[in-house]
Amino acid sequence: MQQLSYFELVGFGPNGWGLALLTATGMTLAVALCGFLMGSVVGTFVAWAKLSRSLTARSIADGYTTILRGIPDLLVIYLFYFGGSAALGAIGSLFGAEGFIGVPAFLTGALAIGIVSGAYQAEVFRGAYQVVSRGEIEAARSVGMHRWLMFRRVIAPQVLRFAIPGLGNTWQLVLKESALISVTGLVELLRQSHIAAGSTRRPFDFYLTAAVLYLLITWVSTYLFQRAETHSMRGIRRAS
């Protein structure tokens, strides 16, 4: 049997793996994006807690960010997957179900990435808030703005503006973390590359292709974040 060329192997022909790799790339983007957005929500509330006057809220938020940034991301994934499955098994046993009940791999990945990235995004938002001019906040209070209106019109836009570079770095971390979800059986880019490499005994070709695709996503993401940062800083004079 004639060995396929590299382009036939990763192409969209009858013997190519192109469609499978493209679908897996979409899955990688989907789980990373869901986890990143979830982390943004979690990070916002954790940043608020770290900046609050409540000692209890600050202590809980500090503990959350310290723990999640201190333990391996793979361990968090395992805890969510097996811990969630154990919880579902316990609930299922109440209704007569037996055996192992697995948590959906996509849900596990999105939750794990969201919880981990939330710890990093919390620090990004906290740092961005501390850059916001106190004079603008005082001016908003002086004209009678209540807290929600001041947050929506003054604080949030500026925090987001200063947080964009840090969020870009966090997004790159999330993309790399998405590869760890393959241990739960989710067929994302790395998992699909592993399957294809095992089926064809051409591991170098597929892992190299996966590396190129990850770098392509990273390049596009970096470009988009740079454009967003440039757009958000329009009319703002940078200190020289």
DSSP one-letter code for 183:
G
Q: How confident is the model at residue 235 (pLDDT cuts 50, 70, 90)?
A: low
Stretch 145-162: mean pLDDT? 83
Cα 43 to Cα 68: distance, rounded to the nearest angstrom: 12
How many helices (H) and strands (E) would you count in the chain? 10, 0
Two tokens at 18?
């192109």
Stretch 158-169: mean pLDDT? 92
DSSP one-letter code for 71:
S
State pLDDT tens for residues 63-92.
999 999 999 999 999 988 888 877 777 777
Of 99-108, 133-142, 203-212, highest mean pLDDT: 203-212
Query: Rounded to two decimals, what is the model's pTM?
Result: 0.90
DSSP one-letter code for 8:
H
Task: Give Cα 47 distance to the centre of its chain.
Answer: 17
Q: Cα angle at 73 between 69 and 78, to 5 degrees?
A: 130
3-state secondary structure of 131: helix
Domains of the chain and any CATH numbers: 6-232 (1.10.3720.10)
**Residues of the chain above pLDDT 70, percent:** 93
186 or 99: whose pLDDT is higher? 186
pLDDT, position 75: 92
Least confident among 95-104, 108-117, 202-211: 95-104
Q: Is residue 240 pLDDT above 50, yes or no?
A: no
Q: Is residue 102 pLDDT above 80, yes or no?
A: no
> Does the CA dihedral 17-25-78-103 come out positive or negative?
negative
Cβ–Cβ under 8 Å, residues 118 and 43:
yes
Stretch 204-213: mean pLDDT? 95
pLDDT, position 8: 87
pLDDT, position 100: 63
Query: For the chain, what is the mean pLDDT?
Result: 88
Q: Is residue 237 pLDDT above 70, yes or no?
A: no
CA dihedral 133→137→138→139, nearest 10 degrees, is 100
**Ranges of H-type helices in 132-202:** 134-142, 147-150, 156-178, 189-200
Cα 4 to Cα 205: distance, rounded to the nearest angstrom: 11
Q: Is residue 23 pLDDT above 90, yes or no?
A: yes
Cβ–Cβ under 8 Å, residues 16 and 204:
no
